[in-house]
Structure formats: C-alpha cells, structure tokens
Amino acid sequence: MNMPKTFILIPGRTSRQGTGLNEGKYSNDYLDEINTVLINPEDMQRLGLQDGDTVRMWTDYAEVQVTCKTDKGECPPGIVFISYGDKSSRLMQGETHGSGMPTSKGMDVQIEKVIAS
C-alpha cells in the first residue's frame, strides 16, 4: 500500500494550455492539459504510479482527482506541476491575507493513487 505523500504544487501556463484555451474551455486538449499533474520520476516510483493513473490531490481546503504523468526534467523531486485551470484553482484557499491574491502557486498538497490506468 502506498501512503499519500506531501508535495509542493506549482500551477502554471503551458503552450498546450494556451492553444487549448483558444479552442475552447470544453475542448479535449484543454481539458486533458488542465487535468494532468506532472510528477518527477522518483516520486512516481515512490507513490507506485504509472502514467495515466488517477490520483487524489488535496490541500487543507479542497481536493481534486487528476491523471498523473511522468515529468520530463522540469520538476525536481518533491515538486509537482499542473497547468493552471479549474482543478488547480479549486485547491486554493478563499483567504488572500490582505492581498487580493489567493496563494495559487507553491501550495502544499498531498497525493495518493486512486485508480490504476
């Protein structure tokens, strides 16, 4: 049994997220892109994950289910990346600490496998 592990989640823009956005927020490319979390190969192994598995990812405020994929050299171990969109924003806290901006990058998240691909 693989226990959940804590990571730092960095949502951000990608080229595919941008082109998909123009095709429409309900296009397959866009939905696929914003629903995929990229995880370092070492972390994939520690969590017992294969590309395409569904993971549960949660913060103190909300949780989402997304597909995981092995990151290709961008994220160091302990850091996971997701394209900015509906799923990444759901994990944010409403509170902005007087800034107007919810913490939307560098969020602490826990991840565990739910369904194998």
Partner 1 sequence: MSIAEVEPQTETSLKVIPDATCTFCGCVCDDIELTVEDQQIKQAKNACVLGKAWFFNHHIEDRPQALIKGQPATYEEGIARAVEILLNAKYPVTYGLSDTTCEAQRKAVAITDWIGGNIDTTTSVCHGPSGMAFQTVGETTCSLGEIKNRADFLIFWGGNPAESHPRHFTKYSLMPKGDFLPKGRKDRTAMLVDVRKTKSAKAVDIFLQIKPRSDFELLWAMRGLAKGIDVDPRVEEKTGIPLDKLDDIVKQMKQAHYGAILFGMGLTMTRGKHINSEGLLGLARDMNQHTRWVAKPMRGHGNVTGADNVVTWSTGYPFGVNLSRGYPRFNPGEYTTSDLLARGEADAAMIIASDPMSNFSQPAREHLAKINSIVLDPKLSDTAKVATVAFTTATYGINVPGTVYRMDDIPIPLRPAFESPYWSDLKILTAIEKGIREKQLAVN
Task: Tell me which residues touch partner 1 (CB under 8 A).
Answer: 8, 10, 12-15, 18-19, 21-26, 61-62, 73-76, 79, 81, 84-86, 89-90, 92-106
Three-class SS state of 68: strand
Which CB sits closer to partner 1, 3 or 101?
101
Query: What is the rounded distance in angstroms from the CA atom of residue 14 to the CA atom of residue 47?
Result: 25
- Residues 66, 117 contacting (CB under 8 angstroms): no
| Closest CB 1 distance from partner 1, rounded Å | 28
| Closest CB 45 distance from partner 1, rounded Å | 19
Neighbours of 91 (CB within 10 A): 23
